[in-house]
Amino acid sequence: MKFGTKAIHGGLEPDSATGAIMTPIYQTSTYVQDGIGNHKGYEYSRTGNPTRNALESNLAAIENGKYGACFGSGMAAIDCVIKMLNPGDEVISTNDLYGGSYRIFTTIFAKYGIKFHFVDMLDLQNITDAVNENTKLIWVETPTNPMMNIIDIIAVSKIAKDAGAMLGVDNTFATPYLQNPLDQGADIVMHSVTKYLGGHSDVVMGALICKDEKLSEEMYRIQNSCGAVTAPMDSFLVLRGIKTLHIRVQRHCENGEKIAHWLKDHPKVDKVYWPGFENHTNHDVAKRQMRGFGGMISFTLKGNRIEDARDIVKNTHLFALAESLGGVESLIGHPATMTHASIPKEEREKSGVVDSLIRLSVGIEDIDDLITDLETAMS
């Protein structure tokens, strides 16, 4: 079954009670039982809900996995992964990391005795050098947020397996339409479903997908025990969103490519970070492990003045100044003061998050209107 078909049908069946082709919204907290221990597969909606379970099956299908679990946010999904570890365990992650991930690692879990190493994963030797007998997880973003760095999943998977560690991949930017980390050796894949999977800026949700049964049992145990689950209505909205994921992401890619090339030729722009450029670091890896280069772009301005960045982001109209990404509408953001403000300035700048860096989430509007909007703001 090809991806567009899986997005619409994967893991889903018509409602068994009514034949409804769309999964119903089972807006209930509990389920009546015929007798003690005699129920229809559902007891309490924290543990299981038919709408959420349908979404989890659909997510597993489009990521070529077997097991999916949905959470109240992307951060709740990451929280579940780190709770699989124990005090004394160590995690290796990229130095170019979403600020929320960095924050939960350093301010929540570090105090429980889990040690985190942040390294430049473009050089695989840095990962190997950080591995020791306590390494239990390697956590990867690719493309990274916001520098669009491409990390070689297959190569990192070999390092993880040699170390006896789990490999987790945040696949939010690429989406399952462009990249399937489980097929490249990852043990578990995470999504901020809020972004491209939902696609319409109306849901906050996270998800984990894996193939291994034992790993799934731990994933579901934590999901049920901690209770950071998503609601039936939100699950329904994401099921609807995924049905158009392939055609939306294709348009995001097309618009992103045109804007990346337009920015590259703009006299006020210093550097453009987009994996589709041949001179982008690990471009060859991106071509191998991705089926397109996405709609996320970051760029810096000549002179690196924060004032210039502020002038641009406040003067766009179609590109809305807002947190998040991946919706049908275009967004513009300033990572240093928004998504990555929780990372100390000196650490941000080491990975390239300088004061003039601007991040674009290119939507699916008409490309001529988007370029005109940027041109007006930058003039």
Q: Which residues are known to be catalytic?
A: 46, 98, 170, 195
Left, alpha or beta for 10 (phi > 0: left; psi -120 to 50: alpha)? beta
Provide the residue type at 192 as one letter.
Answer: S
Closest by CA to 253, choosing from 358, 361, 122, 162, is 361
Query: Residue 192 in contact with residue 100, Cβ under 8 Å?
Result: no
Q: Strands 320-321 and 331-333: what pairing?
A: parallel
What 3-state class would DSSP assign to 299? strand
Q: What are phi and psi of 4, to 5 degrees?
A: -60, -35
User: What's the CA gap between 50 and 73, in Å, rounded?
Assistant: 19
Listed in sequence order, the DSSP H helices in 171-305 are 175-178, 213-226, 232-242, 245-264, 283-289
Query: Residue 53 in contact with residue 42, Cβ under 8 Å?
Result: no
Q: How many CB atoms lie within 10 A of CB 365?
A: 16
Angle 236-238-240 (CA atoms, 0-180°, nearest 5)?
A: 70
Location of structure tokens 């998504």: 339
Per-residue burial over 25-43, b if 16 or more Cβ lie within 10 Å, else e, is: bbeeeebeeeeeeeeeebe
